[in-house]
Amino acid sequence: MEKLVIRGGKKLSGTVPVSGAKNAALPLMCTPLLTADPVTLTNLPRLADINTLTDLLNHLGVAVTIEGGKGGRLSGRSMTFNAASINDTVAPYDIVRKMRASILVLGPLVARAGEAIVSLPGGCAIGNRPIDFHLLALEALGARIDLEDGYVRASAPTGLTGGLINFPVPSVGATENALMAAVLAKGTTTIENAAREPEIIDLAKCLNSMGAKITGAGHETITIEGVDRLHGTTHKVMPDRIEAGSYAVAALMTGGDVILEGAEAADMRAMLTKITEAGGIVEEKPNGVRVAANGPIKGFNIVTQPFPGFPTDMQAQFMALATIADGASVITEAIFENRFMHVPELCRLGADITVTGSSATIRGVGGLKSAPVMATDLRASMGLALAGLVAEGETSVNRLYHLDRGYERLEEKLRALGADIDRVPG
């Protein structure tokens, strides 16, 4: 098992290319299940989660061709998916347990094949994330749902029918599954209280380019007019706003000056607002976003919320920032109830953090001290790496398999900005 070794104290400066978004790429990779024609996705990041979903698609009968990026620093990988025939409608436990996003094959399989049998999902242990809303959406479209032996069986042998889907609270994954299921349903589907994340908009753009009729993506109400069939397309994955936000925090924490090449400021407003509030400089550029330090870091308050609010996927990174702020910060986690598992690890580095219920009070300290730490989930691993960048001495971050699920070439990108960081055997 590998680990990151970080020798802190280096100011980061330069330009970092932002990869394609993991959270957009995964649902996009499920769209080929809806058509017999090839679908090509470009700007795909090289991540463990991408590989896991590729394995699952292969199991279902999807042929996948992979090409390296040919368009320079921001091109990523290009992958062509051909689901001319679906050989299996079972998503087995051995694959699904590795990644929660595997549940996104449920809607497309039912829509096209009339049946899906999907293992209950795994992924990061950051709290209770039931799939009730996914099932609610499919039932609203006429699917029969049965749960047995750890599997979800959804069936609609005569096809799905448009209907009203009203989510009690916005859910990104359930909205994505509902979109993919509804595009081939007979009639009109309305999704109320839909998630509004940029990744939802990216998915709708791809589906519309395949012949779907979706309006309202990015708003609370989405309308889908079902079509008889979809065709192939080529679609570029949007830039990763969470990766970009993580490097923005790295620039501010280290007193640096970094251009996030390819980042879309419009997708990052809540994060960039907090960067400014903490004392950083934010400048929108033609090729991305510049973030630079501007004196001491100031304390700030955050409440995680669905988009356009502050993203829960950036909570751990901003907590790392708060540990060295001048003053106190309060971070309230309103999305997941078990997403403060990185707190004890940050405290091992000298952070002063008190957790009360769903809120953490972080009192800035003069500096962090190195120690071995252990990642508990994907975003926590990045928070610990950020802390290591400013900790005195040599910090080792263990359990890199979490990090590799969501950050492409992390140590290479940080090293190019001036960090003293290596990946070594654990």
Q: What are phi and psi of 417, to 5 degrees?
A: -90, -5
> Is 335 marked within a binding site?
yes
User: Distance between CA 341 and CA 358 in Å, rounded?
Assistant: 12
For β-strands 13-17 and 257-261, DSSP reports them as parallel
> Is 313 marked within a binding site?
yes
For β-strands 281-285 and 288-292, DSSP reports them as antiparallel
**Among 47, 17, 416, which residue's Cα sits nearest to residue 244?**
17
The interaxial angle of helices 241-253 and 269-277, nearest 10 deg, is: 10
Walk across the sheet containing 164-166 and list its strands: 164-166, 188-192, 222-225, 213-215
CA–CA–CA angle 148, 149, 154 (5° rounding): 40
Q: 86 CB contacts (<8 Å, ≥6 apart)?
A: 33, 60, 61, 62, 109, 112, 113
| Residue linked to tokens 């599997």 | 151
Kindly state the tokens that stand for 320.
Answer: 């790392």
Kindly state the tokens that stand for 286.
Answer: 């033609």
> Is 236 marked within a binding site?
no
CA distance from start to end of the chain: 5
**Among 243, 208, 234, which residue's Cα sits nearest to residue 74?**
243
Residue type, 64: V
> Active site includes 124?
yes
Q: Which residue among 30, 124, 206, 347 is the active-site one?
A: 124
Kindly state the tokens that stand for 140.
Answer: 């609203």
Pick out the residues of the known binding site for UDP-N-acetyl-alpha-D-glucosamine.
Answer: 100, 313, 335
The set of catalytic residues is 124
